[in-house]
Structure formats: C-alpha cells, structure tokens
Amino acid sequence: MKVMRINIEKIVYPGKSLGRCEDGLAAFTEGALPGETVDIEVTRDKKTFREGKLLNVIEPSAVRCAPECPSFGHCGGCSLQYADYAQQLEIKAACVRELLSQFGVPVEPIVASPAVWGYRNKMEFSFFDEGGVVSLGLHRKGEFNRYFPVPPCHIADPDFLPLIDAVVAFARGSGLPCYDKKRHAGFYRHLVVRKAQRTGQMLVNLVTNRQENTDVDYFAPLVQRLASRVSSFFWTINGSLSDAVVADEVHLLSGKEHIEEHLVVEGREYAFAISPFSFFQTNTLATEKLYEIVAQLFGGTKTDRLLDLYCGTGTIGIMLSSYVGSVAGVEQVPAAVENAANNSRLNGIANISFEAGSVEKWTKHRQPGDFNALVLDPPRGGISGKVVDFIARTAPEKIVYVSCNPSTLARDLKEIIEKGRYAIGRIMPVDMFPQTYHIETVVTLTKTH
C-alpha cells in the first residue's frame, strides 16, 4: 500500500478534492476540504496525476463537521455531509466560477435551498437480500451491485420512512424473495415513493418481477395498511433484464391516477399532476426558487414566441406562459409530453402546445422567425452539436439555459457563442441538492449582432 500526504487546494467538479503531493504532482481524492492536510492510499499513479482513497485527515478544516447520517460514506446518496451548509454552497459556487471563468462574466451569489435536510420529494429504493432477509436500500457508494439498507436517510422526506417500514414488513412476511440481477429471478425489485410537498399527497409504486399466481389482490393487506397515508398506490410489473424502473404493466391498486403538486412562482400558483413515471424536480421549495430566477432573468413580453426545448412535463413552459405570447415545447419522451399537455389543461393555459420527438430531429427543419426566444433545460449530457447549429441558424433574440451540469454547460456555452454571435448576460447558480455536489445553473444569452 502506497500512502502519501497531500495538502488540499480546492474541490473540483464533480466533487473531487484536489491536492498536491510533495513532488508537486496533482492528486485527487474524495471527502477532504480545502486547506486540509490528509493521507491517501494511492489507487492510481499516472505520470501527470494520482488518485487515492482518503485514509486520515491530519489537519482538519474549521468548517468540517460530523455527518448527520450514520450511513454517510457507505451509502452513495450523499457526498458533502462532512462540510457545513455554508461551506457546501461555497464549494458549489467555486466549481461554477472555475468552469465558467473563461467567459469573463461574474457569477452571481448562489441561491440556497430553503431546506437542507428531508427535502427530497421522490426516492427510489432497491430490494436486496441481506443475509437471507428481504431488505430495502440505496446503492453503496461507488458500487452498482451492492446496497446499503434504508432507513436512515436524512435527505428523504421524513414521511417516507413509515411507508418503507410497512413495505419491508409486508415483503418479509410474504415469503417471496428479492430479485437477483445475476440469475434474473426473484420477485421484489424496487420501491418508488413520492410526495407532493405543498398538498401532502403521497404516491407509492411497488415494482416487482413477473410472478405466477400473483395478482392485485395479493397486495390488499399492504394497501389497506397504508390507505390513510397514501393517495395513490401502484403495482408495476417489470420483467426486463434492465435494473432501471421500467414498466411492462402498471396497475393502480388504490387511489387516483396521479397526485397533485403546487408550485408558487412570483405570486402565481401552478398545479402539476405527478404520475408514477412523471419527471418532476426532487426539491419542491428550491424548484420554486429556480423558476422564479428563470422568470426574472428571462424577462418575457407578450410579443415573445418562446420555444421550450427538453420541456419534460412542461413545468418551465407552463410557468413562463403568462409572460409571453405563445410557448411551444419539445420533448423526446411521449409520456412526458402527455403529462405536459395534461398539466397545461389543469392550469387552464391556452397559449402552449407540446410535441413529442427527438430535439435534434425536430429542430432540423425549423426556420428563423418561428420563435424569438428559447429556453433550454437539457439532461446532464447537455446539448448536441446539431442543436448548437440550430441556435446559430435561427438566431433567437434571447436564450435562457438551465443546466444541471456546469461542465457540459461550459462546453455548450462556448460553442453557442462561437457559432451564433451571442454574449452571456447573467450566471446564477441555484442549490437544489444539499449534501451532494450537484448544482443547477441558470445562464442568459443575448445576440451581439
């Protein structure tokens, strides 16, 4: 075992602690704060850098704190519990500043999450065999085939914990085994729980493998036990080899087809229907902060024709619809587009439409003048070169880019500016995911002509 002592200089995205060895070589580890001296076990030794596992903190930072959750370091859900929240915000803001410094635009102060614990309105757990006993948990840190039992989970809404206990007790009493990914056999696969934080409505989706002689009546005792707590209870059958939560069949065991969440943005209240597979931001109160910033930075007028790319279930477009003349949303996932259309009807919005299809294919034949404003909220991989070319060709007057990955954001902004003659206006990071390294960033761009 090769052990080296390093001095930590900073944390770089995505959550890696960067230090220097005595020979000047850069070394990366996890779990160390700027200014700390630590010992690492070298796991990768290259000519230009090293990687290592944190062994000991020799000189701790004054802002280091004890993790709130006893599972921290074992469970893969959190990464920054060893830093107090003020320091977490500075770490994230520093990452955004470093990645976007090439544009010469100051990054505005980071917006904090209203809640730093118990904020997640959705959790997805996996069933696993723990010494011959059915258990439920999250992936172990850095591993995809091993799990750590839950509870506890300090970032999940506290109301989830009684549901977890009831489901685990039912599964253990049933005598049926957990799904084994290697053998593709077993019954219990996943448990997804959701809560609409402003209405209190809760949704449970129990995901299992296909099993003979198992029907909806099988779950009646569990459904009855949770009837007073749960607004919607679903049973999803997933017989695929994929470990993702996908559906061959979905059965509503009790309650409504969806739960309803409300968002209050700049004094306006919007309603959103959330079904088992709907996308919705996982931090409701911070989402309101994010969307208020989007609305303020966008500065829409009734003459604007807004294009909402990667619109998901339509949340941003619906929220901006009252500021503009019209909104057109594009999303690849058909179910999300269906949800978006339902959400627009739920809110009585008439100046918005949605279309299902690949963003790249949809934008291929669009012409300048079809719209004059653009909002982008792509997945973590960012946008493709084809979408950059589309922006350059159609030249919208103003763009708002909402990103969950500052690394791909920096890449995309550079290409948009180079190809489309744009300048960055404002950059504002928003913390949606306390205790983790994840950060949302809102950027505005305007044409330089």
Predicted pLDDT of residue 330: 95
Distance CA 409, CA 170 (A): 45
Q: How many CB atoms lie within 10 A of CB 377?
A: 21
pLDDT in tens, 251-308: 999 999 999 999 999 999 999 999 998 889 999 999 999 999 999 999 989 999 999 9
pLDDT in tens, 33-76: 999 999 999 899 888 999 999 999 999 999 999 999 998 988 88
What domains are there in the chain, each with its CATH number? 3-64 (2.40.50.140), 98-114+283-447 (3.40.50.150), 122-260 (2.40.50.1070)
Distance CA 112, CA 119 (A): 13
pLDDT in tens, 179-193: 988 888 999 999 999
DSSP assignment string, 62-82: TTB---SSTTBTTBSS-S-TT
Q: Compute the mean pLDDT over every residue in the chain, rounded to the nearest whole number.
A: 93
Residues assigned a catalytic role: 404
Predicted pLDDT of residue 81: 95
Distance CA 376, CA 358 (A): 14
Which of 39-43, 168-172, 372-376, 397-401 has the weakest average pLDDT? Answer: 39-43
Q: Is the pLDDT of residue 1 over 80?
A: no
Distance CA 418, CA 415 (A): 5
Predicted pLDDT of residue 12: 92
Q: Is the pLDDT of residue 116 over 90?
A: yes
Predicted pLDDT of residue 364: 86
pTM: 0.92
pLDDT in tens, 209-230: 988 778 888 999 999 999 999 9
Sheet of 249-255: strand order equals 147-149, 133-139, 122-130, 188-195, 202-208, 232-237, 249-255
